[in-house]
Amino acid sequence: MSPGLAETATAILERARPSTEQAEVFASEVSTTSMRWLNGELEYERLVTNRGVGLRVVAGDRYGYSYSSALDPAGVETLVGLARDAAAANRGSAGYRLPPRSELPVPVVSGLCHPAALGTTTADRHELPARVAGVLGEITDAAAPPVRVQRMLCVDNHGRRSITSSTGVAGSYQVSGVSLWIELLTDGRSSHAFANGRSLWDLDLRADLGAAVARLARTAGPPQPAEGVATIVLSPPAAASLIGAIVPALTGEAVRKGHSHLAGSLGRPIAGTLLTIDDDPLDVRGMSARPFDDEGTPSAPLRLLDCGILTSFLHNYATGLAGGTESTGHAFRSSYRSTPEVAPTNLVVRTGKLSTSELVRAAEPCLYVDEWHGGRATSSRAHTGRFSAVLSGTWWRGGGWAGPAEPVGVAGRIEDLLRRLVLVGAELGTELSNSYTVRTPALAFEGVRLSGRQR
Amino acid sequence: MRALSADLADRAFRTALRSGGEFAELFGEHRINRAVSAEDGVIERATAGVDCGIGMRVLHGGTFHYGFTEDLSDEAVLALAARLAGQYRAGGPAGVPSRVRAATAPTGPAEPPGWPDMAGMADAVEACDGHARRFDHRITQVTPLCTDTVQDVTIVNSDGQFVVDRRVRVRLRVKVVATGPDGSKATGIETAAGSSGYDVIAERGPAWLAESACQQAITMLDARPTPAGEMPVILHAGSGGVLAHEACGHGLEGDIALNLRSVYADRRGEQVASEHVTLIDDPSIDGLWGSYRFDDEGTAATPSVLIDGGTLTGYLTDRRIARMHGQPNSGNGRRVSYRYHPIIRMSNTYIAAGRHAPQDLIAATGHGLYAKRLGGGSVDPTTGEFNFTVREAYLIRDGAVDAPVYGATLTGDSVGALRSIDMVADDLEFVAASCGKDGQRAWVTVGQPTVRVSSLLVAGSAR
């Protein structure tokens, strides 16, 4: 954070305190560069710095929230006034209190900000297309149809998040990140590669482009219909979508509001015994790692599912209080404009012993699923546990890839599907969601009913 | 916010274009957003915030450069212009001269009509909550949310446009959960949203919104699993327009159609839908959620007929794509805020009304799915392959609406689906929605009358 913003945050806290019982200022400043190429030509370059503050107050025994990017004296007056107006309208929040300072130590999380990220230049970014082309040249088969990059989007950022409150919460940390999305085309078919890391030099282009090129190769040929009951193997991206589908039901917010079908399931099996999921905010390989959450609670790993048994929900301070427990350190704000919600950071699925290729062979015949469409919040109903999704993938039969499958639908109760888990891979893929990371291997489920086009 | 002056804009453009470049633009914005929501029968959240800044874009060859400043001083704006000028290689021909003119008269209501304070917003939320809780004892959760926005924009460009506009948006949305005696749950959602002020809430009223949402949830408590397979699907008026928006509208956005070669590229004049389909995007319809007087590049709003009787007649464009491809500018350049560059977005996109009565479509369908309300979904805009969840659906048996079903997902390809529309009713309705693209969300309206698609693949869990 620039000294100016830090001083402003402190000044806002001081300005808000006389007219409020409690106040908290969350400040962030993030510099982001976005570049997109279309067919090798730079389409745009966007260099911006987002900075602003969110002000949470307790005034008249009620809770109010305001935010602003206008941080001059007039803007600060407006900010404080809006927070007090909001508190006055917040009739149901009587007795609300801000989180106290935690007695737990704040962990040191090394590697959140790659030193090289701070010195990234425009020239470094302009070299990306050549780097990608070089790797593609090395990994593609010269005899195969040429693979070309249609679109490429690189977003790199670095910044600082900071929190200070009248209850003694105080902290600040610096973070950097890069995500690279590449769309590959061959023979009219497309595939996408995602790479992420802490700096441009931290990207594993060979692995991520390799996965996308391999997908292009195995999806050649006419799509085949699918219908009936089959074993499906979810690739790491598809498995991440499935894991993401249960996240809305894992938050203390959903439990408190009666929106979680998993409420009341603590200590009970909700998945096959092979499924263990942790949330690990200290794992810097996950892009949402952090030393403390967005209301200052120190971070710590948390087991959510242990051999299929639900062991915990995610909580911020308010949902922890409402649930008769404590914050698990999962307060999340998408930016300073957002009140603290509840979200995971880095979900990590415990691996098995089979490589992905061994797992596919062991599951034969099976549908290897590259994409799981619609399984996140849009169609997974947190309150009912029902889901419906459309899968895209490739058949594995007779010891080899047997062509792409036409899109097929799967639907039912998500717990029923999770109980059909029979194999877990050993190779973790890292997938980004909007607000968290999922690190999961391939997952195989047997006896899954597919609905496709009938012939 | 201090409005951008012609003098400052002129100096900024001359700075930005000093090393070449064809076009420069400033987008100044001051916006106040407010939100009040209830949970468990009481107001639980009230928030308000200010977004204020100036974004600048410079076009140079096929590339554009974008940045913004939240420091509104002349010095900061000129520094931004100098930084953007420095991002592209100097040495080319001198940039075009700036042609800044005086601003048009400000448009939009000076004082939004009937604008309440936050306590007034809380009143609307509580009214909605109370009606829902009294509707049926099986309604166990009610979550009303009232939001409003007052956005003042100044859009100036080096071609001489200078627009000052005020936009307002108001929305009241209620989500309810019903719980059955066996613990089963179902949801219902209803929304009133518009761009003319709080009259949009007054027109239908919190009671109607609450009751509509509750009725959906109560009905779906009795739903059974959806049978899977290919079948005729009737998309109810209003929210069924999500399909035309997602599956077809995005493929007709010029950046996707012309740059990425979507399934609609180079097909102007071709039959891409059945003769029953006329697809229009019209931001100039007064008061709808996706309406505007000027887009975020300062272009006046006009209707665009995209498909006329099944024939592709045009694409949606913004200034950059129109210039790049020699197309007319349809005035669909929109952005989330000053922090973002404009991209091509739909506004109020709808299938025009046909001639059938809605019940004719159902009576003519022996067996199929009646999709009353669509949920979210995704589409590959280049191939047109889509999938959508259905929030409220019913089986059709022997030409009549039968039992409610849950868990339906519709999938297919857009051209195939549009060509399979064989009946269009006369009951055009609009529904407010939110659309995501390239990391930006936009307020849009989807619309359609009740239509029948002769065959779609339905994913469901019934055997």
The residue segments making up the domain with residue B240 are: 229-459
Q: How far apart are CA A127 and CA A180, in angstroms?
A: 13
Position B355 confidence tier, pLDDT thresholds 50, 70, 90? very high
pLDDT value for A412: 86
Tell me the mean pLDDT in the region A11-27.
94
Note whether A266 and A198 are same-domain residues. Answer: no
Tell me which of A257-266, A308-317, A392-401 is least confident. A257-266
> Could A383 and B177 be called an inter-chain contact, meaning their C-beta atoms sit closer than 8 Å?
yes
Position A166 confidence tier, pLDDT thresholds 50, 70, 90? very high
Position B3 confidence tier, pLDDT thresholds 50, 70, 90? low
pLDDT at residue A65 tops 60: yes
B50 closest CB neighbour out of A75, A86, A408: A75
pLDDT at residue A118 tops 70: yes
pLDDT at residue A380 tops 50: no
Note whether A256 and A322 are same-domain residues. Answer: yes
pLDDT value for A455: 43
Note whether A214 and A351 are same-domain residues. Answer: no
Say if CB B449 and CB B280 are below 8 A apart: no
Is the Cβ of B440 closer than 8 Å to some Cβ of chain A? no
Tell me the mean pLDDT in the region B159-173.
94
Question: pLDDT digits over B316-337, tens only?
Answer: 999 999 998 999 999 999 999 9
Tell me which of A125-129, B260-264, B284-288 is least confident. B260-264
Mean per-residue pLDDT of chain A: 91
Smallest CA–CA distance from B382 into chain A, residue? A190
Position A377 confidence tier, pLDDT thresholds 50, 70, 90? very low
Say if CB B26 and CB B4 are below 8 A apart: yes
Chain A residues near residue B259 by CB distance under 8 angstroms = 38
Note whether A282 and A384 are same-domain residues. Answer: yes
Print burial letters for B250-289: b (CB count within 10 Å at least 16), e (below 16): bbbbbbbbbbbebbbbebeeebbbbebbbbbbbbebeebb
Instruction: Name residue B286's amino acid.
Output: D
Q: How far apart are CA B415 and CA B396, in angstroms?
A: 25
Tell me the mean pLDDT in the region A148-165.
94
- Packed helices B118-135 and B199-221: angle between N→C axes, nearest 10 degrees: 30
Six token digits for residue A63? 């809770």
pLDDT at residue A318 tops 90: yes
Residue B38 lies in a domain: no
Note whether A403 and A342 are same-domain residues. Answer: yes
Q: Select from A167, A192, A218 the last residue of a domain.
A: A218
Residue A72 lies in a domain: no
Position B381 confidence tier, pLDDT thresholds 50, 70, 90? confident
Pick among A26, A30, A46 to test the B interface (most B CBs inside 10 A): A46
Chain A residues near residue B87 by CB distance under 8 angstroms = 45, 47, 122
pLDDT at residue B463 tops 60: no
Residue A45 lies in a domain: no
pLDDT at residue B15 tops 90: yes
CATH code of the domain in which A128 resides: 3.30.160
Note whether A383 and A425 are same-domain residues. Answer: yes
Residue A274 lies in a domain: yes
Note whether A437 and A332 are same-domain residues. Answer: yes
pLDDT at residue A398 tops 50: yes
- Could you give the number of structural domains in chain A? 2
Note whether A209 and A308 are same-domain residues. Answer: no
Residue B386 lies in a domain: yes
pLDDT at residue A378 tops 80: no
Tell me the mean pLDDT in the region B234-239.
94
Tell me which of A100-104, A147-151, A229-233, B15-19 is least confident. B15-19
Chain B residues near residue A75 by CB distance under 8 angstroms = 50, 52
pLDDT value for B89: 58
pLDDT value for A229: 92
A454 closest CB neighbour out of B70, B117, B229: B229
Residue B109 lies in a domain: no
Q: What is the rounded end-to-end Cα distance, in angstroms, of chain B? A: 61
The residue segments making up the domain with residue A124 are: 117-158+176-218
pLDDT at residue A19 tops 50: yes
Position A379 confidence tier, pLDDT thresholds 50, 70, 90? very low
Smallest CA–CA distance from A390 into chain B, residue? B387
Say if CB B173 and CB B185 are below 8 A apart: no
Question: pLDDT digits over A31-63, tens only?
Answer: 999 999 999 999 999 999 899 999 999 998 899
Residue B21 lies in a domain: no
Residue B394 lies in a domain: yes
Note whether A325 and A405 are same-domain residues. Answer: yes
Position B272 confidence tier, pLDDT thresholds 50, 70, 90? very high
Percent of chain B residues past pLDDT 70, beyond the cut: 94
DSSP symbols for A306-375: ETTEE---B--HHHHHHTTS---S-EE-SSTTS--EE--SEEEEPP-SB-HHHHHHHH-SEEEEEEEES-
pLDDT at residue A375 tops 70: no
Is the Cβ of B73 closer than 8 Å to some Cβ of chain A? no
Q: Select from A189, A218, A247 the last residue of a domain.
A: A218
Note whether A357 and A418 are same-domain residues. Answer: yes
Chain A residues near residue B28 by CB distance under 8 angstroms = none
Residue A365 phi, psi dihedral angles, 5° rounding: -75, 145
Is the Cβ of B187 closer than 8 Å to some Cβ of chain A? yes
Tell me the mean pLDDT in the region B336-340.
96
Tell me the mean pLDDT in the region A74-96.
91
Tell me the mean pLDDT in the region B170-174.
96
Question: pLDDT digits over A247-300, tens only?
Answer: 999 999 999 887 888 999 999 999 999 999 999 999 999 999 999 999 999 999
- Could you give the number of structural domains in chain B? 1
pLDDT at residue B98 tops 80: no
Nearest chain A CA: its distance from B357 CA (Å): 31
Mean per-residue pLDDT of chain B: 91
Is the Cβ of B416 closer than 8 Å to some Cβ of chain A? no
Pick among B37, B60, B63 to test the A interface (most A CBs inside 10 A): B63
pLDDT value for B441: 94
pLDDT at residue B37 tops 80: yes
Residue A420: name the closest of A450, A398, A390, A400 by CA: A450
Question: pLDDT digits over B38-93, tens only?
Answer: 988 899 899 999 999 999 999 988 899 999 998 889 999 999 999 998 876 555 55
Count of Cβ atoms closer than 10 Å to residue A10 Cβ: 15
Say if CB A349 and CB A243 are below 8 A apart: yes
Residue B79 lies in a domain: no
pLDDT value for A4: 66
Note whether A334 and A390 are same-domain residues. Answer: yes
DSSP B300: B
Question: What interface predicted TM-score (ipTM) does this complex get?
Answer: 0.86
Interface of B with A in 28-57 (CB under 8 A): 32, 34, 36, 38-53
pLDDT value for A257: 80
Instruction: Name residue A17's amino acid.
Output: R
pLDDT at residue B29 tops 50: yes
pLDDT at residue B107 tops 80: no
Smallest CA–CA distance from A412 into chain B, residue? B461
pLDDT value for A256: 86
Position A183 confidence tier, pLDDT thresholds 50, 70, 90? very high
Residue B70 lies in a domain: no
> Could A69 and B40 be called an inter-chain contact, meaning their C-beta atoms sit closer than 8 Å?
no
pLDDT value for B103: 67
Smallest CA–CA distance from B456 into chain A, residue? A453
pLDDT at residue A182 tops 50: yes
Note whether A201 and A239 are same-domain residues. Answer: no
Residue A277 lies in a domain: yes
Residue B265 lies in a domain: yes
Percent of chain A residues past pLDDT 90, beyond the cut: 76
Please tell me the pTM assigned to this model.
0.89
pLDDT value for A381: 63
Chain B residues near residue A41 by CB distance under 8 angstroms = 62-63
> Could A151 and B260 be called an inter-chain contact, meaning their C-beta atoms sit closer than 8 Å?
yes
> Could A390 and B118 be called an inter-chain contact, meaning their C-beta atoms sit closer than 8 Å?
no
